[in-house]
Structure 1
Amino acid sequence: MTDGDTQTRRRIRVEGIVQGVGFRPFVYTLATRHGLTGHVGNDTTGVYIEIQGSPERVASFGDDLLSHAPPLAAIERVSNETITCRDDSGFHIDGSDSEGQRAVLVSPDVGTCAPCLSELFDPNDRRYRYPFTNCTNCGPRFTIVTDVPYDRAATTMADFAMCGDCAREYHTPTDRRFHAQPVCCPACGPTLRLVDADGRAIAASPADPIATAAALLSEGHVVAVKGLGGYHLATDATNQEAVATLRRRKRRGEKPFAVMAAHLDQARHLCHVDPAEARTLACPRHPIVLLRRRTQAVLAEALAPGERNLGVMLPYTPLHHLLAREHPAPLTMTSGNLAEEPIVCTEDAALERLGGVADYFLVHDRPIHARADDSVVRVVADREYPIRRARGYAPAPLPLPHPAPRPLLACGAELKSTFCLATARRAIVSSHIGDLENYETLRCFTEEIARLSRLFGIKPQVVAHDLHPEYLSTKYATDLATPDGPEPLGVQHHHAHIASCLADNGHSGPVIGVAFDGLGYGTDATMWGGEFLVADLTSFERRAHLVPVAMPGGAAAVKEPWRMAAAYLDAAFEAAPPPGLAVAERNAHHWEHVRAVARAGVNAPLTSSAGRLFDAVAAVVGVRDRVGYEGHAALELQQRADPHERGHYPVRITGAAPLRVHGTDLVRGAVDDLCAGADPATIAARFHNGLTDAAARVCLHLAEETGLGQVALSGGVFQNTLLLGALRARLERRGLRVLVHERVPTNDGGISFGQAAVAAATEGARA
């Protein structure tokens, strides 16, 4: 029987990130190559395909569909069935179907691909120096999508009618811009303008806003640059006066600025870059990567005061590539916002909010529909370790270990806010939003929940939240939970941390969970943060913790670590610390009052926080009495630590159910060494080693007691790679499997994912 004698027809459905990644053109090309007839289209759940031909060719098509999918596609599920053959003529792409239940996913934004870069710098190409060049393999996605299915009409490119040349590319199956929805060129696409802080156009000479902006940067000006998901504030990173001006205007305090290197070689001149870090810098997601700064790097001191690490990224849009070509020195590229506010994404908002920060604005007329800040990662043991998950990563879905029986919303915590929408086994964690401490950020939080709920067709029936009654995210959740609204489910903060790490690793537990962070509301109404839990996704037991101490002044102690030093010294030395300590002398005016507050317990809540223990030791050693941002003192203490020091301060572990870990012993050891004239670098190292030893001993004890062989490490303190690496190595040497974060941050940016995992598993257990 010949190839044409027998025909079969298959209906195939593909779900996952399959829109906006060139999947329909890929299917068209594949079907044509195999000599098959039928059609392909987008709908609200993904991509549907009908394919007809000989059984052998249809089978071969199915194999190639999975093995040769577009590089940006993420296939979650493929289903198919045999249907009745039809009389088709060729293969074609259908118009999109917008009816039905929404379940389609949207691709994150993708950095400029090599072919587009080649066109960008080719004087003979019609897109030469065009800052909005893109194709099916790169460019804006999530930040321009207004609806699904993903078609040009459902993006912010809808108002830009394609010229004849772009239309030909869009409709030519062999072209890499075949059905590339943001396709455009200088004749028909968005345009760039340079304006001053009053919105008045700046004449470009030559007629190139990018070249003019680069010249202004070289003169020391601050330029706001409209990117994919919002504005950057740019300055020449080698110009001390310009960077200091930006820091002052932005009210940035001492928090480091990120740097955009023009290319990988320049990044290597600024920082030590190992092969895994180089791959991460250059990957299509293009995050900011935290790297070890070279001492000889020529950079402004105001860029990252006192920092041994530097956040570096490479250009990821044509606009950034062109700017880097015109201004070859490294540039600061920090989020376009004022302190603690969300990143601005419209020209009006930029001029209003950043008019006192930037001197000039490089703007364009392609609207940004979704904010997306830059993602930040470290590379630990050759793998990405997320610090902030945003552009390039969100809203890619994450799998849940247990399916959610009902659609749910998890509202996250207060700091580093994210939320998570989940249905079935799919969790969609929002882009980083920020700290819910002001109206603008809260408004961004609520608007984004409404937008993503509509975009992904998720109407929550369960709303998970933190136990802290004063978190704005908790108040939002409880306000939603009306008799006709979603059912509320409170999740303890540190249980959510461990659940987040479990779900990140596709694990259900039980595990020994070490949750070290700043502060989280405990079930006993004290502030936890140095916890050892035995936990799975539905429950936890607090089996050990740091001995609580007073936090004099409450929230003031977070910003003034010397207060924690006063409380810890009182506890460590039974109210009689050695006289003449420098930390007491530096803060003599308030010292005795703060000690009295700590003893009285008035406005001095008890806390077991590992973060506050780090603060106390940092202040005692003289690293920092006051901080400019969360974790500031702990970060500098880590950087001071001598990596060659092997000594440690012994720590008592007493009691039972739960064990009590005496952090005061670490403070006493630090003070004794300080009084003996030890170097702060030695003290910092011995403190880290002592905490590592104590944590390892607790984990090993609990492993023996419970028979558990897995340990999960989570919480913001584990951004400290010195502590993370040492504890992980110690436990693995003793035969335990250690789970760490790989896809969501270990800090509070991962809390919403953990809440969703707990809610899904809890709901499933009740069903």
Structure 2
Amino acid sequence: MITKLIRLYGIVQGVGFRPFVNRLADRYQISGSVCNKGSYVEIAASATVDVIDEFIHALEAEAPERSAIVKVKVKTLEPENGAPAPELITGQRGAAKNNNAGSGFKILESKHEEGQIFVSPDIAICPDCARELYNPDDRRYLHPFINCTQCGPRLTILDSMPYDRDKTSMADFPMCEDCNHEYTDMNSRRYHAQPVCCNDCGPELYTLGGVAEVGAVSPHTVECDAAQADSRIEQGAESEAVTDSPCTGEYGAAQADAHIKQGAESEAGIYRPRAKEYGTAALLRTRAVIRSGGIAAIKGIGGFHLCCDAANEAAVRRLRQLKARPMKPFAVMMRDPDVVARECEPEAEMMTLLTGPQKPIILIPKKSERLSSGIELQKHDISVTDNEEQSVQGTRVAASVAPHNPNLGVMLPYTPVHMLLFDYPGDEPISDVLVMTSGNPSGAPICMNDEEASGYLAPMCDIILSNSREIRIRADDTVMAFYDHRPYMIRRSRGYSPLPIVAKEESNHAVLGIGGELKNAFCLSAKGLYYPSPYIGDMADMRSVRALDAAVRRMERLFEIKPEMIVSDMHPGYNTSEMAKVIAEREGVPVMEVQHHHAHMVACMAENEYEGTALGVTFDGTGYGPDGTIWGGEFLLGDANSFERVGNITPFMHAGGDIASREGWRIAYSIISTALGSEPAGRIAATLGLGDAQGRRSIDFMLGNNVNTVKSTSAGRLFDAVSAVLGIKASGTFEGEASMALQFAAERAEAQGISLAPYAGRLINIDQDRFELCTDTLLMELAARRLSGQDIDQLAYFFHKALADMIVMSCCYQRTRTATDVVALSGGVFQNLLLLRLVDEGLRREGFRVLKHSMVPTNDGGIALGQAAAGIAALENQSQSEL
């Protein structure tokens, strides 16, 4: 006999996990116990080694459908043939809650340890609730808030722990007698389901008016369709026009703020915009608006979406105008897996996640490649011409949903309201693909209440479908790609946050990593667990800064974590750096600064549970270097405590400030002008279409007089420059647009067959203890080949392959110096899956162990984990030095 202690981390509470363990132990005739310890489930199992190994395998292979095991830790307590530890078997740690007759296995009472709290992410509607939703004989027939222990809101309705109804926003809705009976019945699927409700006692849907102006849908058209909906409402409220009179002029943040302040107030002083319709009438009215080509703002679990018919080209273009989002792809929600198969080409692993309990947005290849040539990609408008992409026969998604992009961001309905939008018995059909984009003004966090929606979203929509269940913490949709048949996180939020990342070694220290300035998410850490927050947004907008502060306060309270240190980026001008100081002063703790790319590297190492020395290849858009320059194409040798910068791409002059970050041609011209001088550079640039003469003269002046320039090694800007040189995209309307277009061009070339020989130029220069990738000469080579008329897509691949070869050679060189054979790949540039694959495969061929991200974003949304891990390492070192 042997006794092992098994800890299972993830969604293992509130999903029937302990009874499952009990049944499994009975099957394998295992003695022991199972206990809910807050952030994990702990199992003590006594049997033979082989039986316990089979038991552990079955725990993962047969886990309840709505559970998600993210980490398993196993520790041997008793040697072979030793007696099991009595306190783990007899229940001395807590009274037995349930036994199998004659079994030596027990379910112990729940017990949590300080700093080890489990807060479940929100869970998508389960199959049982989905069936009940459309069962006319069920008392929750068509109930838009149906849920059970297997699904529904969790984190986003929680005020404080423990997770009881009176500590959630559902406290506003006392249970009716029938719901209370289910809630207290141990045999019910709704036993202790805190959000449980029904049509008699639950929250209510209602509409608010929108005031969208650009190309507004004719009120007459919408009202005619809505009138038909009214005839199907058995208990409809009084009908009103869906669209208000459009406002005149610009409707920016200041006007939106004024719109908020003009709202009617209740006696309690809370903003309560006048609702137009309720319940079924509200839902049918919203469906009618969408069916007629209108735009709706719809309140979900963690915030509002802006929604329109994804098959209606005019509606999608209008939404782009109203949201001031000319090119960035929209996410879509598809009715069911059959629609996904019609529109896209998903892998089996993608479909498993799409239909699972998290239901993230997944980037899936479109049914057929629909990209125009590299030259055509320079267009900034979304008009569809004969030279641009057209919808493939058999597909219905409008071309302007994701223009010039081979992928669609796809999710399936994850709330009852979503399902009812697609299918409402007795009502006219609606499109089976809907745009579902985050409901927020540019730069601001997702709207979470009526006040924000009426102020900021009303100018973008014709109707707002809200409800009376309050959201306590914002949670935007999770977005992920797939690499090597595994998830590759882009934005970690709904359904995944705040599931912990489990450290290799437990620590008694607690820290807060405040996160990055872009794509912000923070991270709390205690007891060897890292809790990433839901996605917040970009911190240039003070609304995002306020949302960050509010979310930090709430999550510190929920997890009972009191940080000993706040960790931030070292950039002195970041709002997050200032916020870290504010929080540190409020909580009486110090601030520690961690260099941006070091945080990227440590995040990758922490996710992979690696604590040794690694070579971090951190490629991204920008990060503040200790030398005061812009870093972004870095090779860092180190661990969580420290690093040495051993290499980088060739520095170039970033001339023109922020505008050069958006207009890659400026970076390209700076590199060419530095190499050749202004006159020959001007002639080449004019031929390549890099800006106009006045713009180039301005850059020459800045370079010649060292005005508004800074030295940079940004790999992100290098990609933008190459995109401009090849005539693919000279400037972008959103971050990464030019680089994405370059990637897509290279992928087209790879799919069609590579015709160019590999780059034969010098790959790296070595100068004493540092090396530089010869990226400046590579760009000059690309310019010469473009001028000679070589194929643009082939040149795009040529660049990717040459850069990957440079990275691999650099790692090989560094290994000869320090014997480092572990490489961590991180940074937003590695969202480029082609570059990632070329580098990953090249390094593995050379015998390296390659650490990559999977469930933590490789972009700035993941650096808070690295900050927190670096902070924990510093505190551990401090503790050791005090011994």
CA distance in 2, matches of 1:739, 1:32: 39
Q: Deviations over 1:714-767 (max 9, x none)?
A: 000000011001111111122222111011000001101011111212222232
Match of 1:226 in 2: 299
CA contact (8 A) 1:597 1:604 kept: yes
Matched, 1:72 2:67: yes
1:664 and 2:659 matched: no
In structure 2, distance between residues paired with 1:507 and 1:701:
22
In structure 2, the residue matched to 1:264 is: 337
Deviations 1:32-80 (A, max 9, x none): 999xxxx999897778999xxxx99xx99xx899787654265878994
Displacement after TM superposition at 1:689 (Å)? 1.3
Bigger mean CA offset, 271-280 vs 628-637:
271-280
Task: Answer whether contact 1:510 1:534 (CA < 8 A) is retained.
Answer: yes
Partner residue of 1:626? 731
The answer on whether the counterparts of 2:312 and 2:398 sit within 8 Å (CA) in structure 1 is: yes
- Partners in 2 of 1:375 and 1:86 — Cα distance? 38
Is 1:647 the counterpart of 2:757 in the alignment? Answer: yes
Structure 1 residues 722-741: aligned runs within 5 Å = 722-741=834-853
Q: Return the TM-score normalized by structure 1.
A: 0.90
**CA contact under 8 A between 1:44 and 1:101: conserved in structure 2?**
no
C-alpha displacement of 1:22: 4.3
Hey, what does 1:4 align to over in structure 2? Answer: none
For residues 340-392 of structure 1, the C-alpha deviation after alignment (integer angstroms, 9 at most, x for no partner) is: 11001112211111110111111111111110000000011010000000000
Distance 1:275 1:178 in 2: 34
> Which of 579, 597, 610 is matched with 2:683 structurally?
579
After superposing the two structures, state which structure 1 stretch, 723-732 or 155-164, moved more: 155-164
For structure 2, list consecutive stretches of 5 or more residues without a partner in the other structure: 75-86, 101-105, 211-243, 245-272, 371-391, 424-428
The within-5 A match list for 1:324-723 is: 324-325=422-423, 326-482=429-585, 485-575=588-678, 576-577=680-681, 579-580=683-684, 581-584=686-689, 586-641=691-746, 642-643=749-750, 644-645=753-754, 647-649=757-759, 650-656=761-767, 657-723=769-835
Contact 1:20 1:141 in 2 (8 A): no
Match of 1:456, as an amino acid?
F
Q: For 1:765 and 1:226, how far apart are their aligned partners in 2?
A: 46
Alpha-carbon offset, residue 607 of structure 1: 0.3
The residue type paired with residue 601 of structure 1 is: N
CA contact (8 A) 1:43 1:149 kept: no
Give me the whole-angstrom Cα distance separating, in 2, the residues matched to 1:561 and 1:393: 35
User: Which residue of structure 1 lines up, in the alignment, with residue 406 of structure 2?
Assistant: 308
Aligned CA RMSD, in angstroms, stands at 3.5
Q: Does the 8 Å contact 1:405/1:760 carry over to 2?
A: no
**Offset of residue 588 of structure 1:** 2.1
CA contact (8 A) 1:42 1:150 kept: no
Residue-by-residue CA offset, 1:427-463 (whole Å, 9 max, x unaligned): 1111111110111000001111111111111111111
Task: Look up the SS of the partner of 2:509 in the other structure.
Answer: strand
**Deviation of residue 480 (structure 1)?**
3.9
Aligned partner of 1:687: which letter?
A: F
CA contact (8 A) 2:606 2:869 kept: yes
The separation in 2 between residues aligned to 1:506 and 1:250, in whole angstroms, is: 41
Which of 187, 190, 198 lines up with 1:174 in the alignment? 187
**1:164 counterpart residue number:** 177
Asked whether the equivalents of residues 665 and 691 of structure 2 are also in contact (C-alpha less than 8 Å), the reply is: no
Alignment partners' CA distance in 2, 1:203 and 1:493: 49
C-alpha deviation, 1:102, in angstroms = 5.4
- Counterpart of 1:6? none
- Report the Cα distance in structure 1 between the residues aligned to 2:96 and 2:329, rounded to whole angstroms: 61
Provide, for residues 179-208 of structure 1, a one-character-per-residue CA deviation record: whole Å limited to 9, x for no partner: 11111111211122233227554558x944
Question: What is the rounded CA distance, in whole Å, between the counterparts of 2:832 and 2:450 in structure 1?
Answer: 38
What is the CA-CA distance between 1:112 and the residue it aligns to? 1.2
- The answer to whether the Cα contact below 8 Å between 1:465 and 1:755 also exists between their aligned partners in 2 is yes
Which residue is 1:5 aligned to?
none
Structure 1 residues 339 and 647, CA gap change in structure 2 (3 angstroms): farther
Contact 1:290 1:312 in 2 (8 A): yes
Determine the structure 2 residue equivalent to 1:298: 396
Q: Deviations over 1:666-721 (max 9, x none)?
A: 21111111110112212211111111111111111112322222211100000001
Distance 1:292 1:517 in 2: 24
The CA distance in 2 between the partners of 1:46 and 1:389, in whole Å, is: 20
Describe the shift of the 1:203–1:450 C-alpha distance in structure 2 as closer, same or farther (beyond 3 A). Answer: closer
| Partner residue, 1:3 | none
| Partner in structure 1 of residue 159 of structure 2 | 146
Q: Distance in 1 between matches of 2:606 and 2:94?
A: 45
Match of 1:746 among 850, 853, 858: 858
Relative to structure 1, the CA distance from residue 507 to residue 44 in structure 2 (aligned partners, 3 Å threshold; closer, same or farther) is: closer
Rounded to whole Å, the distance in 2 between the matches of 1:83 and 1:310 is 52
Residue 406 of structure 1 deviates from its aligned partner by 2.2
- The 3-state SS of whatever aligns with 1:157 is helix
Amino acid of the residue matched to residue 738 of structure 2? A
Q: How many residues align?
A: 749
AA of the residue aligned to 1:280: L
Question: Match of 2:289, as an amino acid?
Answer: L
Kept in 2: contact 1:13–1:80 (CA 8 A): no
Give the unaligned 5+ runs of structure 1.
Answer: 1-10
In structure 1, distance between residues paired with 2:846 and 2:113: 54
The more displaced of 528-537 and 647-656 is 647-656
Q: Judge conservation of contact 1:623–1:636 (CA < 8 Å) in 2.
A: yes
CA shift in 2, pair 1:86/1:447, >3 Å:
closer
In 2, the alpha carbon distance for the partners of 1:255 and 1:368 equals 27
> Per-residue deviation at 1:258?
0.4
Q: Provide closer, same or farther for how the CA distance between residues 681 and 124 of structure 1 changes in structure 2, counting only shifts above 3 A.
A: same
Q: Verify the 8 A CA contact 2:666 2:691 in the aligned structure 1.
A: no
Matched, 1:763 2:875: yes
For the Cα contact (< 8 Å) 2:608–2:851, is it kept in 1? yes
Deviation at 1:21, TM superposition (A): 3.5
Return closer, same or farther for 1:730/1:370 CA change in 2, 3 Å cut-off: same
| Deviations 1:560-618, CA, capped at 9 Å, x for gaps | 21211111111333443372534556422211111221343221110011111111111
CA contact (8 A) 2:688 2:787 kept: no
Letter in structure 1 aligned against 2:715:
A
**Paired-residue identity, %:** 39
**Tell me, what secondary structure is at the counterpart of 2:169?**
coil
Q: Secondary structure at the match of 1:551?
A: strand
Bigger CA drift: 482-491 or 78-87? 78-87
Residues 828, 859 of structure 2: 8 Å contact kept: yes
For residue 158 of structure 1, give the secondary structure of its aligned residue in structure 2: helix
Contact 2:682 2:696 in 1 (8 A): no
User: Is the contact between residue 323 and residue 442 of structure 2 (CA under 8 Å) also seen in structure 1?
Assistant: yes
The answer to whether the 8 Å contact 1:564/1:613 transfers is: yes
Q: Counterparts of 1:524 and 1:722 in 2: how far apart (Å)?
A: 32
Q: Counterparts of 2:566 and 2:533 in 1: how far apart (Å)? A: 15
Structure 1 pair 333–573 and aligned structure 2 pair: CA distance change class (3 A): same
Whether the aligned pair in 1 keeps the contact of 2:726 and 2:786 (CA below 8 Å) is: yes
Change over 3 Å in CA distance of 1:47–1:714 after alignment to 2: closer
Say if 1:541 and 1:32 are closer, same or farther in 2 by CA, change over 3 A: closer
Indicate if the aligned counterparts of 1:133 and 1:184 stay in contact, CA closer than 8 A. Answer: yes
- Cα separation, partners in 2 of 1:582 and 1:448, compared to 1, 3 Å: farther
AA paired with 2:311?
T
- 8 Å CA contact 1:517–1:529 kept in 2: the answer is yes
CA contact (8 A) 2:124 2:359 kept: yes
